[in-house]
């Protein structure tokens, strides 16, 4: 169902715990039918995903255990925006905190609504070049490894279906298609 | 937090309504700390996403209103797997139901865990070629338009950030990188 002509007559939070907030809207159709739509509401203003690319086309991948899928996954740096932060400010903060990297050249790589059938989330993608290094600032218990991988090798992994993080695979293929992996600056 | 060395001592469904099921696990660390992890559990065995490509490199995009983001979005055909269905069987069924398309040539395009920090979901991607046409079988109230677009134009939209569905953009860039948009068969 699409519900573009339905009117929301009541909206309430049905569940909220940790990072999961469920909203339920009661909807009224032009013909007078009534139903409800149950969906996730982001607890933050959005998320940011950063693809950092070094001068010699190496990418710092985050390797971390993901509890819901009970396995280790390669991801890109990223995380939730804080209230009042712009996507770019959040991207700079998350990159520094998770990897200790500071980047001088930033370029947008699209904004996406993952799982738009049942989630309000917006994810903002960035390419970061001009990398230099400072100290990581991990949260207590945050247990992530950074593994540098050449862009060429990462693309091989994607084409062989050896990655399983959609955001990582998208960002690298986007950077390739946009020409950011041809050795030129952003 | 990663929790790869934590032991689940209790697991329960905290909330379930429509397509949203929230699970909460109580976790015990090797050091004796206790916490909980709240996450979404897929209500289906997984989802499938299909990128159909015609002989003249046209792609049937689904144009539909997405209630949680209050806007119309371009998507690929796809949907939830039924119990007992393989990903390929589900992909064939969803493609036929949503677009009336039958395809003879199927190729895997990876399996992904979207939002693995708080979702158990697996999404299986397929490229479909050798297209022929039968009747659509939309669910009641299902209100989707199919709009054919050339692969070249779709890639232009991606590079200009004019699409906002990550699965659509990934699949098209994957097909391009894999050589499936060079006019050859799968």
Give the residue on B whose Cα is nearest the Cα of A24: B17
Low-confidence ranges of chain A (pLDDT < 50): 184-186
In percent, the amount of chain B with pLDDT more than 90 equals: 87
Distances, alpha carbon B98 to alpha carbons B109, B130, B139, B155, in Å? 20, 17, 9, 23
pLDDT of residue A134: 84
B4 to chain A, any CB pair closer than 8 A? The answer is: yes
- Interface pTM, i.e. ipTM: 0.93
**Touching A: B residues 99-158, CB under 8 Å:** 108-120, 122-123, 139, 141-144, 155, 158
Q: What is the pTM of this model?
A: 0.94
pLDDT of residue A70: 95
Inter-chain touch B141–A113, beta carbons under 8 Å:
no
Could you tell me which residues come within 8 angstroms of residue A7 by beta carbon, excluding any fewer than 6 positions away?
A27, A28
Nearest to A24 among B17, B40, B111 (CB): B17
- Rounded to an integer, the average pLDDT of B141-145 is 73
Residue with tokens 């982001």: A42
B26-30, B104-108, B139-143: range with lowest mean pLDDT: B139-143
pLDDT of residue B178: 97
A13 to chain B, any CB pair closer than 8 A? The answer is: no
Could you tell me which residues come within 8 angstroms of residue A118 by beta carbon, excluding any fewer than 6 positions away?
A38, A39, A40, B19, B20, B68
Give the residue on B whose Cα is nearest the Cα of A66: B117
pLDDT of residue B2: 72
Inter-chain touch B18–A36, beta carbons under 8 Å:
yes
- Rounded to an integer, the average pLDDT of B167-181 is 97
Inter-chain touch B40–A68, beta carbons under 8 Å:
yes
Higher-confidence position of B182 and B178:
B178
Look at residue B129 and tell me whether its pLDDT is greater than 90: yes
Higher-confidence position of B46 and B133:
B46
- Rounded to an integer, the average pLDDT of B115-140 is 90
pLDDT band at B185 (very low <50, low <70, confident <90, very high): very low
pLDDT of residue A185: 44
Give the alpha-carbon dihedral of A135, B3, B39, A74, to 10 degrees.
60
Inter-chain touch B110–A178, beta carbons under 8 Å:
no
pLDDT band at B186 (very low <50, low <70, confident <90, very high): very low
pLDDT of residue A136: 75
């Amino acid at each position: 169902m699409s519900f573009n002509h339905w009117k929301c007559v009541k909206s309430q939070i049905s569940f909220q715990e940790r990072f999961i907030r469920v909203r339920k809207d009661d909807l009224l159709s032009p013909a007078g039918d009534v139903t409800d739509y149950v969906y996730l509401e982001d607890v933050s203003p959005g998320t940011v995903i950063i693809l950092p690319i070094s001068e010699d086309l190496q990418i710092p991948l985050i390797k971390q255990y993901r509890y819901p899928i009970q396995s280790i996954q390669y991801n890109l740096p990223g995380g939730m925006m804080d209230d009042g932060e712009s996507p770019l400010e959040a991207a700079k903060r998350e990159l520094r905190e998770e990897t200790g990297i500071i980047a001088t050249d930033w370029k947008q790589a699209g904004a996406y609504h993952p799982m738009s059938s049942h989630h309000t989330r917006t994810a903002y993608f960035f390419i970061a070049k001009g990398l230099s290094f400072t100290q990581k600032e991990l949260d207590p218990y945050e247990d992530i490894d950074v593994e540098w991988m050449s862009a060429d090798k990462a693309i091989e992994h994607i084409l062989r279906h050896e990655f399983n993080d959609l955001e990582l695979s998208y960002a690298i293929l986007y950077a390739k298609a946009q020409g950011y992996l041809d050795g030129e600056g952003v």
